[in-house]
């Protein structure tokens, strides 16, 4: 018996990935582990994809619905998308092949707030779950499970699935045991109780996942690494954005609107988030705390260097280099990091109570402060909303960040009207680009527009935005002045020409 599988009954269910995949029926709804490229099952999804390809080659239809924690990796979303094996997918994803299927209209993608997924599954709103495929780091003699680098929705999938397949991965350090805090106090209304968490790294649950051994139909042994989430050095634009944010936070502390140790930080993924965290390494703040979804290299470094006292997340997603540091110093990090179900890491009750400072990337913002985090030119899905809505709506402060332009300057990320709204004007507070920071708190839409144009727009696009705003202010209702016939014309032009820029002819026609 492998030392990672200590339950005798479950050890008897060890089989190959393809034998396990053969137990998943066509049409099944499968709950998989995985959050931001970590903690996903490594072998069963690939074996399932092979089986699906073979069935398709034989002319037989075979698709499954796949529910995860968030994005996974090529071995899961990529492999299943490649063979056209998914009918429905939820929630966040970021795989190129999966995205292509979604935007080709061949895959139904449900973009749900990460804090809502588990409860909607419990409520029965999404249908039944047939099989859960969950990666764990070990099985205790009594059948309890050591969670992996991502907790995600695993607690819920193990609870609600009819059958369970476990992948036991022996590569990640077994010393992660004890790092997790699995809360079993959730319930369905009207039986819900307060969640008694008042500090980011307080423990309110237990370190193991529970599973009914009788539901387990297969155990698959693996020894595979998570996705290597490469950590890019922040570029100049990211550093400028980060500097604006850090200046602003210091100013808020000075005005007494933030405590000296700030409030717990949530940081989305990507270059700008990394740059902000890197900036905090040299910033004036001490004893920081994290309350976030994904703990990446930047936050790990803050902990390592003693600037951040501790952090709560639902997943750890690291570069190869950082993973080595994490593994080498696992005892140090285990005392400073708590991994929770995403339902808890993103819970509105807790995000509001703790007063999280949220920092999330976006695709574009409009002059009135509406934010698009998900769609390219109104129709195409990028990755999904993730937890940005959980944090932006409920946090103490919320930043949405983007470079002011994209595609080498052909696209302005500040537009008259966003082509899709993920965060409404009621939910956005602070918009930041490398050009500057627009503090929208306490401003009316017309006031916001002038501040966003002045502070955030790229100088190349500022005159066009000002022109739009000025002309809109000369006609129609004036709460949120718009010219509806032009509001989305920048995006339409980009679809037609690859650039939002007007041609000489168009400019002449307007003049």
Contact positions with a second copy (CB under 8 A) in 355-374: 355, 370
By CB under 8 A, what part of segment 442-501 binds a second copy?
442-444, 446-447, 472-473, 476-482, 484-485, 487-489, 491-492, 495
By CB under 8 A, what part of segment 36-95 binds a second copy?
88
Please identify which residue in 158, 275, 303, 377 interacts with a second copy, judged by CB under 8 A: 377
Please identify which residue in 3, 57, 58, 104 interacts with a second copy, judged by CB under 8 A: 104
Selected range binding a second copy among 56-64, 164-172, 328-336, 421-429, rule: CB under 8 A: 421-429
Please identify which residue in 230, 255, 509, 510 interacts with a second copy, judged by CB under 8 A: 255
Alpha helices (H) in 58-128, listed in sequence order:
79-82, 96-103, 117-123
By CB under 8 A, what part of segment 424-443 binds a second copy?
424-427, 429, 441-443
The answer to whether 126 contacts a second copy (rule: CB under 8 A) is: yes
Give helix 445-455 / helix 462-472 axis angle, nearest 10°.
160
Q: Which helix (H) or strand (E) holds 108?
A: strand 108-109
Contact yes or no for 438/455 (Cβ under 8 A): yes
Residue 441 CB, nearest approach to a second copy (Å): 4
Residues with Cβ within 8 Å of 342's Cβ and at least 6 positions away in sequence, in order, are 35, 69, 70, 114, 115, 117, 118, 151, 152, 153, 293, 314, 315, 387
- CB of 16 or CB of 489, closer to a second copy: 489
Token pair, residue 9, equals 């009954």
Helix (H, G, I), strand (E, B) or coil at 385: coil
- Determine which one of 75, 135, 167, 293 is catalytic: 293
- CB of 26 or CB of 495, closer to a second copy: 495
Q: What DSSP designation does 407 have?
A: G
Asked if 486 is an active-site residue, the reply is no
Please identify which residue in 80, 385, 452, 500 interacts with a second copy, judged by CB under 8 A: 385
- CB of 426 or CB of 509, closer to a second copy: 426
Instruction: Please give the backbone phi and psi of residue 261, each rounded to the nearest 5 degrees, phi first.
Output: -85, 15
- CB of 283 or CB of 384, closer to a second copy: 384
3-state secondary structure 128-195: CCCEEEEEEEEECCCCCEEECCECCCHHHHHHHCCEEEEEEECCCCHHHCCCECECCCCCCCCCCCCC
Residues forming a β-bridge with 266: 358
By CB under 8 A, what part of segment 305-364 binds a second copy?
348-349, 352-355
Selected range binding a second copy among 4-12, 37-45, 98-106, 137-145, rule: CB under 8 A: 98-106
The answer to whether 253 contacts a second copy (rule: CB under 8 A) is: no
By CB under 8 A, what part of segment 183-242 binds a second copy?
188-190, 192-196, 198-199
Distance set, CA 83 to CA 51, 58, 77 (Å): 10, 13, 10
Q: Which residues are catalytic?
A: 293
């Amino acid at each position: 018996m492998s030392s990672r599988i200590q339950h005798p009954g479950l050890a008897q269910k060890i089989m190959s990935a393809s034998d396990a995949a053969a137990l998943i029926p066509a049409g099944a709804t499968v709950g998989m582990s995985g959050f931001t490229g970590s903690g996903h099952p490594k072998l069963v999804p690939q074996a399932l994809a092979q089986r699906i390809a073979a069935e398709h080659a034989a002319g037989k239809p075979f698709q499954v619905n796949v529910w995860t924690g968030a994005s996974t990796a090529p071995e899961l979303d990529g492999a299943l998308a490649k063979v056209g094996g998914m009918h429905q997918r939820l929630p966040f994803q970021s795989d190129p092949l999966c995205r292509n299927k979604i935007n080709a209209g061949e895959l139904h993608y449900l973009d749900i707030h990460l804090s809502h997924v588990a409860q909607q599954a419990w409520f029965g709103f999404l249908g039944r779950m047939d099989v859960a495929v969950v990666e764990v780091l070990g099985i205790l003699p009594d059948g309890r499970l050591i969670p992996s680098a991502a907790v995600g929705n695993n607690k819920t999938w193990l609870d609600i699935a009819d059958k369970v397949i476990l992948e036991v991965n022996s590569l990640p350090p077994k010393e992660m045991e004890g790092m997790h805090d699995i809360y079993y106090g959730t319930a369905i209304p009207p039986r819900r109780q307060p969640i008694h968490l008042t500090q980011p790294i307080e423990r309110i649950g237990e370190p193991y996942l529970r599973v009914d051994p009788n539901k387990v139909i297969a155990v698959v042994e693996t020894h595979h690494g998570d996705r290597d989430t490469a950590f890019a050095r922040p570029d100049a634009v990211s550093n400028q954005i980060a500097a604006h944010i850090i200046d602003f936070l210091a100013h808020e502390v000075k005005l007494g609107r933030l405590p000296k140790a700030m409030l717990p930080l949530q940081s989305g993924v990507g270059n700008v988030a990394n740059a902000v965290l890197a900036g905090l390494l040299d910033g004036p703040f001490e004893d920081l705390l994290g309350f976030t979804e994904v703990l990446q290299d930047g936050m790990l470094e803050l902990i390592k260097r003693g600037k951040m006292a501790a952090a709560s997340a639902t997943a750890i997603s690291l570069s190869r280099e950082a993973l080595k540091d994490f593994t080498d110093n696992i005892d140090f990090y285990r005392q400073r990091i708590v991994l929770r179900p995403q339902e808890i890491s993103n819970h509105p009750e807790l995000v509001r109570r703790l007063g999280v400072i949220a920092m999330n990337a976006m695709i574009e913002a409009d002059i009135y402060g509406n934010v698009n985090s998900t769609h390219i030119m109104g129709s195409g899905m990028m990755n999904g909303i993730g937890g940005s809505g959980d944090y932006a709506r409920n946090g103490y402060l919320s930043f949405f960040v983007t470079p002011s332009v994209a595609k080498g300057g052909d696209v302005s990320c500040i537009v008259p009207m966003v082509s899709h709204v993920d965060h409404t004007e009621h939910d956005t507070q602070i918009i930041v680009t490398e050009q500057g920071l627009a503090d929208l708190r306490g401003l009316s839409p017309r006031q916001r527009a002038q501040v966003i144009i002045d502070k955030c727009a790229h100088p190349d696009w500022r005159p066009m935005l000002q022109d739009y705003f000025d002309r809109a202010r000369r006609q129609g209702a004036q709460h949120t002045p718009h010219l509806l016939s032009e509001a989305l014309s920048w995006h339409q032009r980009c679809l037609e020409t690859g650039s939002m820029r007007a041609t000489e002819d168009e400019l002449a026609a307007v003049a």
